[in-house]
A and B are shown apart, each in its own frame.
Chain A
């Protein structure tokens, strides 16, 4: 059974860098699929952040691209998110997910439980 688990600080100061890791169990990241980050501000909808393939190919949300970096560590079966220069607007529940990219059909079939990150001094 594939499982994803987010980890990282629950509180980040404004202007600092948010760093999160997603640990994958039950499936090797190197075997395929893309891996993604999605966030949900309090009381709001879902927002896509970025996707990465184990080779390092990345797709970033243009609205965040200047602040976002995703990376993969196949030896630890983990992938990570870094979001720099955070503000209160980055306060959200952050989810990691497994992403299948098809010819005309993509989907996120396995999600982590989410981790809450608050940006506050």
Chain B
């Protein structure tokens, strides 16, 4: 299967914890990578691999996976975390890459 499914929208109160999920068969074989995109800007990698953050990404961002699902967790969400978040992975064939439909995070 070459689909990754994300909830279209999620909201979180300032300072609280939020989990954004991504589901797809390929996640049983490949870790998801996660990207944050703010309006008018290019995506930024926030999580890759089992649970790795690029330099400069706050440690409130973390990743996990189980079965056919991957999650991005923001512990203590900040106003600046309001953005669209996309997961990405290879599909099960290993020869093409798929993005999830994206989740719009609103910080209340």
Chain B positions near chain A (C-beta within 8 angstroms): 29-31, 33, 35, 37, 41-45, 48-50, 54, 84, 86, 88-90, 95-102
Instruction: Across the A-B interface, give the 8 residue pairs with the lowest CB-CB distance, nearest first.
Output: A107-B48, A107-B33, A105-B49, A48-B97, A105-B31, A45-B102, A46-B99, A111-B42
- Asked whether A51 and B33 contact (CB < 8 A) given A105-B49, A107-B45, the answer is no
Task: Find chain A residues with CB under 8 A from B102 CB.
Answer: 45-46
A-B contact count (CB 8 A): 68
Given A46-B35, A48-B99, A105-B49, decide whether A111 and B44 contact each other with a Cβ distance below 8 A.
yes
Q: Is A89 an interface residue (CB 8 A)?
A: no
A45 with B86: CB separation less than 8 A = yes
Determine whether A120 belongs to the interface, using a CB cutoff of 8 Å to chain B: no
Number of interface residues of A (CB under 8 A): 23
- The yes or no answer to A33 lying at the interface (CB within 8 A) is no
Given contacts A48-B88, A106-B30, A108-B35, contact A95 B96 (CB under 8 A): no
